């Protein structure tokens, strides 16, 4: 069998249930993702458990590569102590997993995004498909963290260092299946340099010593394509905004943030220096300085550094010259690592080391070689688990002279949020009112269609969903053209009949439309009722600002309210501010002014609401409202683009 072609799927057991293996995974959407690589069935495993074993392990890596084998796995952060006497003197031991674990194999499959999903699905058949991670308290509490940052700033002010990365681990416990966990994480955090490694037992005398590594890293340490070397250090972080507007403002702010740019430039200079140790003289070049990349929970500033490699360059040459990546140490590099050794309480292990592969040149059918193919990531956002489901994730940030310790602590907490993300297993929604009579008369048959399209486009851009306005409009036209005319009542006490359309946009760009006929309804002689819901929403939840299928709370509470005769239930946020109903925006009239809560309170920018604020700004305004304000208002209204405006009264919540 040619080991370079895609794998057969008729295996007795799925490959992702047959350790050891290394899956290097580009989990981004198929329109931008490159190939993933699955290494399996090794000829042998290369390990180092002490610093004394590192030189021999590196020689074995070079030998395997030179013999035409793929070498894939990890190198722990502490391996750097093998190359620098100052660090060797400070070495206090390793993390539980080996310092180096690399498989040498002839078997590598290049996988398309579809192939990768097929492997994951095949390995999940008949197994538990759910998993949860429970995080314990960090090994470094907040007071200890703040104290360490104070000491680091003293070192910076004294001129020892310019910048340093300080990190700490958070213990984790897995409940469920590790493969299910990886599937959840890769869906929630699509990245170009992900990895799932299962070592199988690493010690024949101790079968329980087995490690599973789940890395969701966005950061490239180093790649080699032919004789071009590329590094893409990340330094500079900002949280995603909740709305498209606030998100764009955050990106613009990060691009011009002097602290982030200064940190990024320091690391770029360090990377350039490391590359120059092994690159062809004069070939080191910086491109795309201070770019911003967007991920589900945050934005990252990156820069790109390239160089030309000598053809004779071996994996060990790169490791000795570059390791570890400067973006996770500081500058000057060695002094920063000495201080890290002094102040961090536990070894970093795989975290901040490298995960990746060294694949040798391969002759094509025409006798030409595409050259070496190497990729190493920086293992940030990386979960390390043992055979018993116990493990850790480490988080950290870069410290400079003007760093604020409280802000850095908040940044670390932000970076850990990727474990909480549920993934893109949702659709975007637009609910539209369609009036067939208006369609035939030439009036606007789909109410506020342009506003609905604008909102859908903004949310699609925010979440990275493909959006084709022409195709969506064509689908709407085709759907509505097939709907029969409704017999509307001419009774002045009735509302006219219409269709309620539900448009779903998937993360693939696929569109589906369903519709329900709503017949003429008698208008009530008495105002409808609403009540204040007991469940508080959180204005930091970005899904409140976008109409998606991820709305379990609202669906549940609306069903409960409707069953008890209420028109809707009104939510308050974590600060007690009024937000919205489950399916309506809320409006309160005070004299000639009608007020609606601002979007920043944590609510959906409804299209009816947007139209009223735009067309009647002298009447409709935004400001924060409290329950007391609602009780004092001259009138309350619910509104959405399908049902229009309905007057309501505030009533007592049901038991």
For the record, the structure tokens of 613 come out as 């604020």
Q: Is 560 a catalytic residue?
A: no
The two beta strands, 382-386 and 44-48, are unpaired
Spatial distance between the Cα atoms of 133 and 212, rounded to a whole number of angstroms? 14
- CA distances (Å), 461 to each of 190, 294, 376, in order? 15, 11, 30
- CA distances (Å), 654 to each of 96, 116, 374, 564, in order? 55, 50, 63, 8
**Residues 295/41, Cβ–Cβ less than 8 Å:** no
CA 341, 343, 349, 353 dihedral sign is negative
Cβ atoms within 10 Å, residue 221: 30
Q: Residue 25 CA to chain centroid, in angstroms?
A: 15
Q: Three-state DSSP class for 552?
A: helix
Q: Three-state DSSP class for 564?
A: coil
The two beta strands, 620-622 and 593-596, are parallel
Spatial distance between the Cα atoms of 132 and 184, rounded to a whole number of angstroms? 9
Helical segments of 17-91, H only = 54-66, 85-90
Catalytic residue chosen out of the listed positions 78, 94, 232, 235: 235
Spatial distance between the Cα atoms of 158 and 169, rounded to a whole number of angstroms? 28
Q: Is 219 a catalytic residue?
A: yes
DSSP, residue by residue, 252-305: HHHHH-HHHHHHHHHHHHHHHHHHHTTBPTT--EEEEEEEEEE-SSEEEEEEEE
Catalytic residue chosen out of the listed positions 219, 344, 411, 557: 219
Spatial distance between the Cα atoms of 498 and 521, rounded to a whole number of angstroms? 10
- In angstroms and rounded to an integer, the radius of gyration of the C-alpha atoms of the chain is 29
As a whole number of angstroms, the longest Cα–Cα distance in the chain is 91
Give the list of residues 6+ apart from residue 205 with CB closer than 8 angstroms, or none.
none
Q: Which active-site residues does the annotation give?
A: 219, 235
């Amino acid at each position: 069998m040619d080991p370079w072609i895609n794998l057969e799927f008729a295996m007795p057991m799925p490959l992702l249930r047959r350790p050891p293996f290394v899956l290097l995974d580009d989990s981004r959407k198929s329109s931008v993702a490159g190939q993933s690589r699955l290494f399996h069935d090794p000829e042998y495993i290369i390990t180092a458990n002490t610093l004394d074993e590192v030189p021999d392990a590196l020689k074995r890596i070079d030998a395997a590569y030179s013999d035409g084998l793929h070498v894939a796995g990890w190198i722990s952060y502490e391996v750097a102590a093998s190359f620098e006497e100052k660090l060797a003197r400070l070495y206090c031991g390793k993390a539980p997993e080996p310092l180096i674990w690399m498989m040498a194999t002839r078997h590598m499959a290049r996988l398309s995004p579809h192939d990768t999903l097929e492997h994951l699905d095949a390995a999940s058949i008949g197994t538990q498909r759910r998993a949860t991670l429970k995080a314990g308290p960090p090994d470094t509490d907040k007071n200890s963290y703040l104290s360490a940052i104070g000491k680091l700033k003293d070192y910076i002010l004294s001129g020892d260092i310019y910048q340093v990365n300080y990190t700490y681990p958070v213990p984790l416990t897995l409940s469920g299946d590790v493969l299910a966990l990886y599937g959840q994480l890769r869906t929630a955090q699509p990245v170009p340099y992900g990895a799932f490694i299962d070592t199988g037992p690493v010690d024949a005398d101790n079968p329980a010593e087995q490690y599973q590594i789940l890395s969701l890293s966005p950061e490239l340490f180093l790649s080699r394509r032919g004789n071009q070397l590329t590094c893409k250090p990340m330094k500079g972080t900002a949280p995603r905004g909740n709305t498209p507007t606030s998100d764009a403002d955050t990106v613009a702010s990060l691009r011009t943030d002097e602290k982030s740019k200064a940190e990024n430039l320091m690391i770029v200079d360090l990377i350039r220096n490391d590359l120059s140790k092994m690159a062809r003289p004069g070939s080191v070049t910086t491109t795309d300085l201070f770019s911003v990349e967007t991920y589900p929970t945050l934005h990252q500033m990156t820069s790109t550094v390239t160089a030309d490699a000598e053809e004779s360059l071996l994996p060990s040459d790169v490791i000795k010259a570059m390791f570890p990546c400067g973006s996770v140490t500081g500058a000057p590099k060695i002094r920063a690592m000495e201080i890290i050794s002094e102040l961090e309480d536990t070894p970093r292990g795989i975290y901040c080391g490298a995960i990746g592969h060294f694949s040798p040149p391969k002759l094509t059918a025409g006798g030409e070689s595409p050259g070496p193919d190497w990729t190493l990531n920086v293992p940030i956002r990386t979960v390390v688990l043992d055979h018993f489901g116990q493990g850790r994730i480490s988080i950290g940030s870069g410290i400079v002279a003007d760093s604020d310790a409280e802000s850095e602590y908040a940044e670390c907490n932000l970076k850990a949020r990727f474990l909480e993300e549920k993934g893109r297993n949702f659709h975007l929604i637009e609910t539209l009112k369609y009036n067939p009579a208006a369609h035939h008369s030439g009036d606007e048959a789909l109410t506020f269609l342009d506003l609905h399209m604008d909102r859908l486009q903004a949310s699609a851009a925010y979440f990275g969903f493909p959006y084709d306005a022409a195709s969506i409009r064509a689908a709407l036209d085709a759907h509505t053209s097939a709907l029969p005319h409704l017999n509307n009542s001419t009774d002045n006490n009735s509302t006219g009949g219409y269709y309620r359309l539900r448009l779903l946009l998937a993360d693939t760009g696929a569109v589906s439309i369903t519709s329900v006929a709503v017949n003429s309804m008698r208008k009530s002689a008495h105002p409808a009722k609403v009540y204040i819901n007991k469940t508080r929403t959180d204005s930091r939840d970005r899904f409140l600002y976008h109409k998606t299928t991820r709305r379990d709370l609202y669906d549940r509470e609306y069903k409960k309210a409707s069953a008890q005769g209420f028109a809707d239930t009104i939510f308050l946020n974590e600060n007690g501010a009024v937000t919205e109903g489950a399916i309506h925006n809320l409006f309160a009239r005070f004299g000639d002014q009608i007020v609606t809560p601002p979007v920043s309170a944590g609510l959906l920018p409804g299209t009816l609401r947007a139209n009223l604020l735009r067309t009647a700004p002298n009447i409709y305004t935004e400001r924060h409202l409290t329950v007391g304000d609602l009780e004092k208002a001259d009138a309350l209204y619910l509104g959405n683009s399908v049902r229009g405006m309905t007057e309501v009264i505030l009533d007592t919540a049901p038991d």
